[in-house]
Structure 1
């Protein structure tokens, strides 16, 4: 039995106003070729198929066409809901996709026995039993109790998630015994396991409720396919508990990590091999760091290079002075070079320096407006979206300040 584990496609993502459509299409084409070459029996997408609950039409088209093309290769597909996915969006095509060798489990708010599936191999025989666990919303597994402290709520949620896993694993063992076959039991998940390394593009999913799920809460499944963390990694030094990571870089800080899918191969019920397969880079991207002279020097490596694709850049400038025209200076350095600066920021050391320079100032010496403006100076608003966000922030601040002054006058 050959299974490909992938996750966090985030179809429809807008990356600093840039569409990822071409990258996702290239990845899907590559994936289909891999399925054909390796004769893959099943694919598991462990959550976050889409980037938002209301994905653009082209993202839905990519998803639907992938299912159709995969069905032609006699490969079974399992799609699990993530925290970015809308339950209703995934469910709207669930019954149709069931006719195309595809199982969709959008949430845990269904009967437990409907989260246990038999995965067929290409011969049509049962090759594995799957405990299909998508992103777990607290309301689906837990009833809050009045008077609970924050710690008690976190503990209760962690215990409820562990209980859900154990219940499904118990049902999977019963199913395996009834079938009388020697096949592996596979579990999935879309959550943050304790001790993993996150990236800028990962948004916390249990904010204020559960920081991370302890690995000892997972059942003793033969393989556990996880999603939500975009950097591929092994959990709790357990080779069989893994994050596959996202197929394309979803933030600039993911560039240092090789993107991959994981080929999981079983011989009977025994895990025979776990092979990470590197995904090609479909869009040139880079991060440049240093002072303006270093940035200018680094930009020269892209001058004169004939490439159909423009290189997307994050430029992090280290400068001792606050430069109000930093954006214009950097753009001038990049003129005539096939690059596009999507993100421009000052180094964090510079931000700390700005804070240290202001340590002599106390709040009593500054007006609320001055405090706000000093904090605003520490941010970089480069793109049009950034500038619109700045306007919204300023507008909200002025409204709050006006309301506070009005309340003070009434008192």
Structure 2
């Protein structure tokens, strides 16, 4: 008899029904939300009865140990507004599988004592808290990339016109001249024009990618020409590089993965850096954005396009049905496009693969 059948026959063990921190509530609601997940549905057949959290875990990983669909994180803090941080969990905490009125739920044990849920926040260094997703990948990307919604405004942006002493390229510590409305004493980002994103069907311009190469400070200006000092540079600064006010790109660390509120149909537009084949934890550009209803944390299913085959009887060229192949979570939406992180992939994804709302009844095995 398998473990799942045994649970149905014997009934759930009589563990203590206790809660701790935002995570316990988050995990419990995930399993007992409105969809009515039961011992037979929603729970992985190999879900452990206890799991000890270790450094390097993420909330997505932990959820995936118990749930078939780890993206189904609840929005419980909407009905519990006092819980500002939904991921209060630390290495050494123990997640336990429990029974809550006939449905599976999860509790949290911390040390020898049971910690009860309350609006209080345990004050520990941020570095100790378990992250919701692998945030380092996203942080590094946001540090180096941004998007201008309207590429036609490129000619209106400030830009480098020359290096000091007629230098063609400049670096940290050098002075450069830039043309545009630049304020003395203000710090700016220096960017190089990257990919221009367009809708494959309509040809509409979706955004212009800018790649960060350094920072500079305006020292003085005359008319519309400013003398600037390069404070830092990851690449050489060249003429025509774009100069923009630094973007507020503080990473939202409390991601709430969830399905979009409206139906979404789109495609993987590109992979920054020019890569075509895509795997787990790679950043991808999507051809849908805020105007389409996408927000930070929205999860989309990836459908890999079916192969083309020839009908052996009629000779017709046929396209086979697509196959669900992964999950992408949006972490930086712009007006007409977004950046997402591939959270799961059962096969190598590709540019052009279709995106749509995840189906709750269909899981994607994590790889």
Q: TM-score, normalised by structure 2?
A: 0.22
Q: Which has the higher helix share?
A: 1
Q: TM-score, normalised by structure 1?
A: 0.21
Q: Which has the higher strand share?
A: 2
